[in-house]
Structure 1
Amino acid sequence: MQNITLDTITQAVIDHGDRGKSHPRLYEIYTSLVRHLHEFVREVNLTEAELQQGRDFLNQASHHTQEIPIGEIHLLTDLLGISELVELLHDTHRGTEGNLEGPLYVPNAPERQMGDRLGIDAEGDTLFLSGRVLDLDGQPIANAVMDVWQPNSKGAYDIQGPSQPQGNFRGRFTTDASGKYTFETVVPLGYKVPDSGPSGELLRLLGRHPWRAAHIHFKVSAPKYTPLTSQIFITGDPHLDSDTTFSVRSAIIQLQKHEASDEKAHNQSKPFYTSEFDFVLRPITPAEDHQAMAKQYDYTTK
């Protein structure tokens, strides 16, 4: 194509190719993305130097580090509110609210028995967390698998440094016949997202803080039910109203404090906490069942 101008370049980019014949959904996303990106460039009158800064930023964000082993692209979509926006767009408002997986999930967590301690942290305040996994009618779901992960009492995940053993504060539990789960852990501390890289520099330049409110992550699944990824937050955390990933919604638990002499002490030598939270799963729809069985989108082949 010749004689490209300001008026023709956007459509030329969109029309280059088979215009969605191979992959209609990809073309739909691509077309909208190109239009918005080109409009953004026009709106801010982007300079060559600023474009290069953007390239450098994305290149740096893709690098793997000890702080965030998969790189910062996932973190960046969280910080821009994109990840939570996608959750909100597709939340059915039935059952427990979905929420961000985050960039620090690790598959194949250790299998743990009901009541087990999730991790080792001698300085942390013990928390006994329990509840049930239920269907929309309030009936228990037996043998639901719960994949749990959280930071320790200092706000650190096991993969962020050598101070914790691998798999610390990660575990997979299975609910009993009454849908109940229970495990021992520590009260997690809110923490700063990894901020030594380009995402942290962006936050500083914008005057934004990097703090996340204290939370525990869950993936809950059972046959014939839609898998749930969610987070529960701790009431009283100072960043509940300003979590840097914009992901605090209504799943907030109240901790009840107990003295070591309490009958619920479970052999504790210092004060500890208890709390309960029930997860509600919705049945899988025929469309979701079909999608789960079908091959996921593959934009690399026809």
Structure 2
Amino acid sequence: MSDTSYVDEVAARAAESGRTATEQFRQRLGGGGATDQARVDLLASRVIKAINETVIEERVTYEEYNALKAWLIKVGEDGEWPLFMDVWVEHSVEEVANDHRSGSKGTIEGPYYVPDAPTEPWNGTIPMRDDEPGRPLLFQGQVRAVDGAPLAGAKVELWHADNLGFYSQFAPGVPQWNLRGTFIANDEGRFEIHTIEPAPYQIPTDGACGQLIAAAGWHAWRPAHLHLKVSHPGHELLTTQLYFPGDPHNEDDIAGAVKPELILAPRPRAGGDGYEVDYDFVLDPE
């Protein structure tokens, strides 16, 4: 891939990233599905009731109310609804959706997934720049069913931030599929993916979400992580993230997505540079 100075990349702005996330979400949602009227009535009524109860209990002033209206408008203008929902709400939706699983733990998808990443062999290298900075990482493991049977040809989609904390297609100057790949497991369900270790990063702070973070005195950090979707016909899709030990924000991830089962155990790579790590995935039947 072409060389880059990374100057454009570090100039990424929340508004551009937000618009991209919004457009990606709309494309994937398509026309949307039918929604049960009674369910909409129940959920919308509960949310509106909770807001009104908060207003009364906390004696919200008109100044605070108007500040909230202005902020909600800005979230839309910045295209940051996908970011807001995925950071502060999705972890609860994911918990409800996956509480029946007996296989591997899942967690949130986040706002930066893009489907149809280039397909690579089971032991391939994720697309990256020739001069991609970062510590080399060999990520390997096996995909199995809950009964232990290997799942030959399982699809392992991997995407993650680069060494500067930015995602391709959500920051300028980064090649389209940088650090995004789809890997097809071998006959034993095994995969060996060559990539680099991602960096921790702050969610965009120059837009509406950053405005909320600053006003509330919160931090904006996510620990370093790998994003994955693992699938095989006849089995439930697993969406998850894997984290690295020792990251100070594993304990206070702004997105609330870290689980003990998702912490990796990297080790120095034998006979090579960087690190390697083993992690197996167990998929539940549909």
Partner residue, 1:200: 210
Letter in 2 for 1:83: E
1:280 alignment partner, SS class: strand
- Per the alignment, in what secondary structure is the counterpart of residue 77 of structure 2? coil
Match of 1:50 among 43, 49, 64: 64
Is the aligned partner of 1:88 residue 2:82? no
Q: 2:199 touches 2:224 (CA, 8 Å); kept in 1?
A: yes
| Mapped pair 1:38 → 2:40 | no
In 1, Cα distance between the equivalents of 2:44 and 2:217? 32
Which residue identity is paired with 1:283? P
Does the CA-based 8 Å contact 2:168-2:179 persist in structure 1? yes
| Structure 2: distance between partners of 1:123 and 1:30 | 46
Q: Which amino acid aligns with 2:209?
A: S
1:241 and 2:251 aligned? yes
Structure 1 equivalent of residue 284 of structure 2: 282
Q: Distance in 2 between the 1:131 and 1:84 partners?
A: 25
Aligned equivalents of 1:112, 1:96: Cα separation in 2: 23
Find the counterpart in structure 2 of residue 298 from structure 1.
none
164-173 or 36-45, larger mean C-alpha shift: 36-45
Q: Counterpart of 2:237?
A: 227
Q: What TM-score do the two structures reach when normalised by structure 1?
A: 0.77
The answer as to whether partners of 2:120 and 2:182 remain within 8 angstroms in 1 is yes
Q: Does the alignment pair 1:105 with 2:113? A: yes
Ranges of 4+ aligned residues in structure 1 off by more than 4 Å: none
State the structure with more CA Rg.
1
Larger helix fraction of residues:
2
| SS, match of residue 253 in structure 2 | coil
* Structure 1 equivalent of residue 201 of structure 2: 191
Q: Which whole-Å deviations, capped at 9, do the CAs of 1:242-273 have from their partners, x for residues lacking one?
A: 111111102111111137xx1xx3xxxxx311
Aligned ranges 1:158-173 → 2 under 5 Å: 158-173=168-183
Q: Which amino acid aligns with 1:49?
A: E
What is the CA distance between 1:206 and its match in structure 2? 1.7
Q: CA deviation at 1:47?
A: 2.6
Could you tell me the TM-score, scaled by structure 2's length? 0.81
How far off its partner does 1:203 sit? 1.1
Any idea what the Cα deviations from partners look like across 1:181-217, whole Å, max 9, x if unmatched? 1110001111111111111121122221111111000
Of 73, 76, 79, which residue of structure 2 is paired with 1:59?
73
> RMSD across aligned C-alpha pairs, in angstroms?
1.6
Q: Which runs of 5+ in 1 are unaligned?
A: 1-21, 65-70, 266-270, 285-302
Gap change, CA 1:168 and 1:278, over 3 Å in 2: same
Instruction: Give CA deviations for 1:99-146 in whole Å, capped at 9, x if unaligned.
Output: 111011112211222222212253211101110111111111112111
Partner of 1:289: none
Moved more, 222-231 or 153-162: 153-162
Offset at residue 74 of structure 1 (A): 2.4
Unaligned ranges ≥5, structure 2: 1-35
Which residue of the partner structure matches residue 128 of structure 1? 138
Higher relative contact order (CA 8 A, sep 6+): 2
User: Following the alignment from structure 1 to structure 2, what is the Cα–Cα distance between the partners of residues 60 and 181?
Assistant: 43
